[in-house]
Amino acid sequence: MRNLLFRLRSYTPIPFLLLGLWWLEFNWSAFIAGMVLVLAGELLRLWAVGHAGSITRTRHVGADQLVTSGPYAFVRNPLYTGNMLIYCGMVLAMSPSWPWLLLLVFLWFLWQYTLIIQLEEEKLQSLFGGKYEEYQRHVPRIFPRLLPWHGEGDSQPGTMDWRRAFQSERRTQEAILVTVLLIFVIRTLYACSGL
């Protein structure tokens, strides 16, 4: 199950997107609040990819090095935390009157990422041993700590590469843009049809 979820992790948001669009109830307040969450999630993802590199886009579990700088000093899985912010933000932007859908999205991805993270942690444990165990003891999986953790032998804080981050995140940004455009197209169609 964990391997299947890992392989399908880019596609599991699609059913929730379709539900949100089906029950679209546009209002500007919810849309703006949702977009704030989406922006926060994407900025977190950019920061994470800028530190870890495009290896985060791989279809195989593993890593060349243990990255503990940047957002990884606050949370072990900033990409998944960013995804959860993006997905919850999109649902809020689309369907503010359906709080159960927002709760369902949150719980589904919490469950999905917990299973995927367990798989990834086994691999990281085998690759980095005690260094990873120490990192695990100090930095939470999904919900960030307030202050950054600085472990012995951290990757250097100057490793952030924004250009690499934007190049790697192009697909995520395109998906966000397409979703926002769909929201406005469907909103316009509803308005024109009098629904």
Tens digits of per-residue pLDDT, 86-144? 999 999 999 878 788 899 999 999 999 999 999 889 988 988 889 999 999 999 999 99
* Residues 123/3, Cβ–Cβ less than 8 Å: no
- pLDDT value of position 148: 94
The three-state DSSP-derived secondary structure of the chain is CHHHHHHHCCCCCHHHHHHHHHCCCCCHHHHHHHHHHHHHHHHHHHHHHHHHCHHHHCCCCCCCCCCCCHHHHCCCCHHHHHHHHHHHHHHHHHCCCCHHHHHHHHHHHHHHHHHHHHHHHHHHHHHHHHHHHHHHHHCCCCCCCCCCCCCCCCCCHHHCCHHHHHHHCHHHHHHHHHHHHHHHHHHHHHHHHCC
Q: Between residues 2 and 149, which one has the greater pLDDT?
A: 149
Where residue 59 falls among pLDDT bands split at 50, 70, 90?
A: low
Report pLDDT for 99.
85
pLDDT tier for residue 193 given thresholds of 50, 70 and 90: confident
Residue with tokens 């990255």: 67
The confidence score (pLDDT) of residue 7 equals 82
**167: number of Cβ within 10 Å:** 11
Mean pLDDT, the chain, whole residue set: 87
Q: With bands split at pLDDT 50, 70 and 90, how would you rate the model's confidence at 174? A: very high
What residue type is assigned to position 70 of the chain?
Answer: G
What is the residue extent of each domain of the chain?
Answer: 2-193
Task: Say yes or no to pLDDT of 158 above 80.
Answer: no
d(CA 152, CA 158): 16
Say whether pLDDT at 151 is over 90: no
Looking at domain 2-193, its CATH architecture is: Up-down Bundle (1.20)
Most confidently modeled range among 57-66, 161-170, 176-185: 176-185
Residue of higher predicted confidence among 162 and 182: 182
**What is the structure's pLDDT at 146?**
95
